[in-house]
Structures are given as structure tokens and as C-alpha cells.
């Protein structure tokens, strides 16, 4: 039995889904969506808030402000409500409606940026807004998940040790890259571990996190329109890039077996399976991190009208069974660092 008094005290850290029966290849999906914020971001939010309290930056009267595509905003809303801090989340038009409603239900204020910045995209526009707010009023405290070391430290302290305890023979770890907090925390931990683990970053096509050309990305969570300041590529062995259509197909394949995951889980699963197929790595012990669950995406990824509007056709094929990933997996982009 778990009995808690504050929501951030509970997080399921020992749940994995073996994808072998769904995709025909062994891959253990670590589920990070089972906590009161519904995502992996509860860990980073808790670590950053507690560090700011320890440092004396966060005290009664402080207003927390953060740029988030949804999940960090929900996590900070949970913690801010629990601790009695006001919180303003600056997000953009791609933030899903349910994340916004959740934040508001938890008592937070949400500001939606409607237009991307010409150079920095939506992320650049969100950050400009937060900076202007903090410059105008010193009651605001921006934790800044993009540069805050608490973001990666949370995973160095919790996610990576939890994986290493369950998988002492781990060979490969697949981690989606947004701010790269999860990626860097795990990569740093496993660099110091007793045996080598291959760290594979999974990014979306159109993201410039690891270089390349910026392109449209409609699925929140992964990818970046500017290089992530926390990223140190020397810790990353390889990058796999995934098309959004493949993300959506992987999500639907999982949902067809009763596992309703969020968009970035589709990206990570798709990229990981692609990599494992390419290297015919059936004897490797492989884990991938699933950042959240699917309910926040019911009106996007799991809605055929949205898919049609975004991609010009329903990428999963209306009424047809979920397609075999095989062909599209082989066409994926790999970048060795
Ligand atoms: C759904 C989802 N997936 C993946 C990520 C990426 O995690 P990180 O920022 O640690 O790279 C996030 C971050 O917000 C997310 O919300």
C-alpha cells in the first residue's frame, strides 16, 4: 500500500511493457505516465522546485512561470497547487487542449502564444514572452527547464537507477529528446555505470536538436526548433529521427492492443524498433522510455479529422487494420554521432 499526503510523493517507477507480442521484437517500454501529473515531467518539476526552495529563490510571494508544451506545465501545476505557489504557464498553439484544461483545473494560469517567432519558432516566441515578464516584475521566477541542471539531475537520480536496478544486463537505451533532460540524466548515469550502455537519442524529423533542417512538427514533447542548451552530444552514441506519420502509426498499433500512449512514446517506440531491426539486434536487452499516456492526445493523434487536416490524408488508413511497421521502419533516418 502507498499512502501519500502530497501528489508528487507517488510515482510508478517499476512498470515496463514488453513490446514483443505487439511488434515481434523485444523492447521494454518504461512507463513514466503513472503519477498525478501523468508524465515523466513530474520528476524534473519536483527536482527544479525543490532546488529553487533550497537556494532561497522560491519563497512565499514568488510567482512561478515556465514555458511548456504541456506536460511540464501540468507537473508544475500539481506541485505549485500542493505547495501553494501561483503558477503561470506560457505555451503555444500546439499545446493540446486537455493539458491546458488540466493546468487551469489545478489553479494555474495559461498564456497561449499564437504565432511562432520568425527565427526561433514557437519555442523562441514562448521564451521571449517569459523573459519579458521576468524583466518587468521580479516576483516572477522562471525555472527554465531548457537550462536548469535539476531537469537532467532528476533522471540521473531516479529514472536511470530505476532502469539499471531492473535491467542489470542493459545494452541499449532509447530516449526521446525534447529539452534533453531525460536523455542527459540517463546518459550521464550510464556513462559512470559498471558496464557500457549504448545511448540512442530519438528525435522527430523537422527538429534541429541534433542539427539538420527545421520543419513543421505537430506532435508536442519531442524535438526542438533551437539546439537544446542541456544537450552534450558527447554522451549520445546515435540519433534516430522519426517521421510524424510513423509516430502516429506506432501509437495506433499500441492502442490496437489496449496500450494508449502519448505521441512521443510512438516516436520513441518507432525509432527504437527501427534501430533494432536495422542492426538485427534480437539478442540485445533494450529499454525505451515512454514519457506519458494517450488521453491528452484524444483530439489529435487519435482523431482521424485532425490527422487528415495535418497530414493531408489519414496516415493510419481509415477503417483498415494497423499497418505493419516493417517497410517504413527500414526507410528511417539514422545519424551516427
Ligand atoms: C510527452 C513528452 N515526451 C517527451 C518529452 C521530452 O523529455 P525531455 O524534455 O526530458 O527531453 C517531453 C517533455 O516535455 C514530453 O512532454
Per-residue model confidence as pLDDT tens digits over 115-142: 888 877 777 898 899 999 999 999 999 9
* Nearest alpha carbon to residue 63 among 45, 39, 80, 86: 86
Quote the DSSP letter at residue 178. S
What share of the chain in percent tops pLDDT 90? 78
C-alpha cell, 124: 523562441
pTM score: 0.92
**Ligand 1 within 6 A of 72 CB?**
yes
C-alpha distances (whole Å) from 71 to each of 173, 254, 262 are 22, 21, 11
Residue 337 is predicted with a pLDDT of 53
Q: In whole numbers, what is the pLDDT of the chain averaged over residues?
A: 92
Ligand 1: residue of 35, 94, 126, 221 to mutate (most ligand atoms within 8 A of CB) is 221
C-alpha cell, 51: 532546488
DSSP β-ladder status, 28-31 and 198-204: unpaired
* Nearest alpha carbon to residue 334 among 153, 244, 191, 212: 212
Residue 242, beta-bridge partner list: 204
* Nearest alpha carbon to residue 28 among 11, 10, 12, 14: 14
d(CA 189, CA 183): 10
d(CA 320, CA 318): 6
Residue 319 is predicted with a pLDDT of 44
Residue 41 falls in the annotated catalytic set: yes
Q: Mean pLDDT throughout 266-274?
A: 98
**Ligand 1 within 6 A of 296 CB?**
no
Catalytic residue among 41, 67, 68, 108: 41
Residue 264 falls in the annotated catalytic set: yes
Q: What phi and psi values does residue 247 have, to the nearest 5 degrees?
A: -55, -50
What is the phi-psi region of residue 214: left when phi exceeds 0, alpha when psi lies from -120 to 50, beta otherwise?
Answer: beta
* Cα 33 from chain centroid (whole Å): 10
Question: Whose CA is closest to atom 4 on ligand 1?
Answer: 221
Question: Whose CA is closest to atom 15 on ligand 1?
Answer: 221
CA triplet 277, 278, 283: central angle to 5 degrees? 55
Question: Whose CA is closest to atom 12 on ligand 1?
Answer: 221
Other C-beta atoms closer than 10 Å to the C-beta of 103 total: 27
Alpha helices in 201-280 (DSSP H): 244-255, 263-278
pLDDT at 224 over 90: no
Amino acid at each position: 500500500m502507498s499512502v501519500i499526503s502530497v501528489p508528487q510523493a507517488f510515482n510508478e517507477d517499476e512498470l515496463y511493457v514488453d513490446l514483443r507480442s505487439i511488434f515481434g521484437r523485444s523492447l521494454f517500454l518504461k512507463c513514466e505516465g503513472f503519477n498525478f501529473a501523468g508524465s515523466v515531467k513530474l520528476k524534473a518539476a519536483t527536482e527544479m522546485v525543490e532546488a529553487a526552495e533550497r537556494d532561497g529563490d522560491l519563497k512565499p510571494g514568488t510567482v512561478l512561470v515556465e514555458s511548456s508544451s504541456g506536460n511540464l506545465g501540468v507537473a508544475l501545476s500539481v506541485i505549485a497547487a500542493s505547495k501553494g505557489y501561483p503558477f503561470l504557464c506560457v505555451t503555444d498553439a500546439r499545446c493540446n487542449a486537455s493539458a491546458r484544461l488540466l493546468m487551469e483545473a489545478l489553479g494555474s494560469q495559461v498564456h497561449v502564444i499564437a504565432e511562432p517567432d520568425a527565427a526561433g519558432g514557437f519555442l523562441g516566441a514562448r521564451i521571449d514572452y517569459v523573459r519579458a515578464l521576468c524583466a518587468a516584475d521580479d516576483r516572477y521566477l522562471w525555472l527554465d527547464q531548457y537550462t536548469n541542471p535539476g531537469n537532467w539531475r532528476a533522471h540521473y537520480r531516479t529514472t536511470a537507477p530505476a532502469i539499471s536496478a531492473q535491467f542489470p544486463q542493459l545494452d541499449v537505451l532509447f530516449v526521446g529528446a525534447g529539452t534533453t533532460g531525460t536523455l542527459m540524466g540517463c546518459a550521464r548515469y550510464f556513462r559512470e555505470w559498471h558496464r557500457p550502455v549504448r545511448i540512442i537519442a530519438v528525435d522527430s524529423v523537422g527538429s534541429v536538436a541534433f542539427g539538420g533542417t527545421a520543419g513543421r512538427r505537430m506532435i508536442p514533447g519531442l524535438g526542438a526548433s533551437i539546439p537544446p542548451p542541456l544537450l552534450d552530444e558527447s554522451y549520445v552514441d546515435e540519433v534516430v529521427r522519426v517521421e510524424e506519420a510513423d509516430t502516429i502509426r506506432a501509437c495506433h498499433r499500441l492502442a490496437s492492443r489496449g496500450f494508449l500512449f502519448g505521441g512521443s512514446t510512438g516516436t520513441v517506440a518507432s525509432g527504437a524498433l527501427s534501430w533494432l531491426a536495422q542492426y538485427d539486434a534480437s539478442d540485445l536487452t533494450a529499454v525505451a522510455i515512454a514519457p506519458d499516456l494517450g488521453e491528452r492526445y484524444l483530439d489529435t493523434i487519435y482523431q482521424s479529422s485532425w490527422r487528415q487536416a495535418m497530414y493531408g490524408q489519414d496516415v493510419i488508413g481509415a477503417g483498415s487494420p494497423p499497418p505493419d511497421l516493417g517497410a517504413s521502419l527500414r526507410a528511417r533516418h539514422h545519424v551516427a554521432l
